[in-house]
Amino acid sequence: MAKTGFLTDTTVCIGCKACEVACKQWNQLPADGYEMTGDSYDNTQTLSGSTWRHVAFIEKSGRKRLTGDVDLVALAEGVREELPEGAEIDGLGRWTFMSDVCKHCARAPCQQACPTGAIIRNEFDNVYIQPDVCNGCGYCVPACPYGVITSVPEDGRAFKCTLCYDRQKDGLEPACAKACPTDSIVFGEVEELERRAEERVRELHERGYTEAYVYGTEEVGGTGGIGGNHSKFILMDRPETYNLPAAPELPQEKVGPAVAASAVAAAVLSAAVALAFRR
């Protein structure tokens, strides 16, 4: 069966949070309460065991040079009217939105860390947590380099996006993609999504947005043995701007360097102790 995933195009996201609402409604997830953070208009704050889609509000400022026709990209960045070719906007604040979700890594660190086999790859090659097998050990939480998985306080079990596994089995697209009014979230086969992402980035480059790129490939956002993601993103800034790691790694990739550093430190300490006794 074909591998399925998401393509999230941040250039056309309007921050409406329809995907968040649809995800909670379909999956019957509880409300997280209402808390004014004071940091931005985004009060959901982050992904969690009860929020599987999160639209981040990222406020930016500074000069933006526009060339050609103003399109949805410009609108998403805060431009609200047509501008002459080559016009400059100085000091205009603008918003960047990104609907974040589980990355469904090709070689998922959370799956490798799970001791009970609760985390599997289903027939759509999505990373799926079996709630009836999860024992709440929490090993998957620090293993995820994207900070996606969290435990719920009720019983300590971990939950995250299932890519609407139940809907996929019935031939339906996930609730978030269905609800997205701008098609910022697109669901489909991974190979087709990769093709669409490359085509969109090429189109953005032709319009002068040379900073656009695809995050979630083996080269960008899938390094460190992860092998790329089935949830890909079209970004217009550095990954860190969107609270994404530039070079995510499998936890075990850090074991070798850590052991080597410990061995060097032990050798230096032993030499210092021996020298002290000799003196």
Q: Which residues are annotated as a binding site?
A: 13, 16, 19, 23, 102, 105, 110, 114, 134, 137, 140, 144, 161, 164, 176, 180
Q: How many CA atoms lie within 13 A of 124 on its CB side?
A: 26
Give Cα separations from 13 to 76, 140, 149, 267 (angstroms). Answer: 7, 30, 24, 54
Residue 74, judged by CB atoms within 10 A of its CB (0-12, 13-18, 19+), counts as buried
The structure tokens listed for 11 are 């250039």
Residue 115, judged by CB atoms within 10 A of its CB (0-12, 13-18, 19+), counts as exposed
**DSSP string for residues in 58-112:** EEE-S-EE--SS--HHHHHTT--S---TT-EE-S--EEEEEEE----BTT-HHHH
Binding-site residue set for [4Fe-4S] cluster = 13, 16, 19, 23, 102, 105, 110, 114, 134, 137, 140, 144, 161, 164, 176, 180
Give Cα separations from 254 to 42, 107, 143 (angstroms). Answer: 34, 16, 12
Three-state DSSP at 9 gives strand
Bridge pairing between strands 94-100 and 150-151: unpaired
DSSP state of 47: -
Cβ atoms of 65 and 88 closer than 8 Å: yes
How far apart CA 204 and CA 201 sit, in angstroms, is: 5
The structure tokens listed for 218 are 């083996």
Task: Return the closest-CA partner of residue 173 out of 183, 182, 164.
Answer: 164
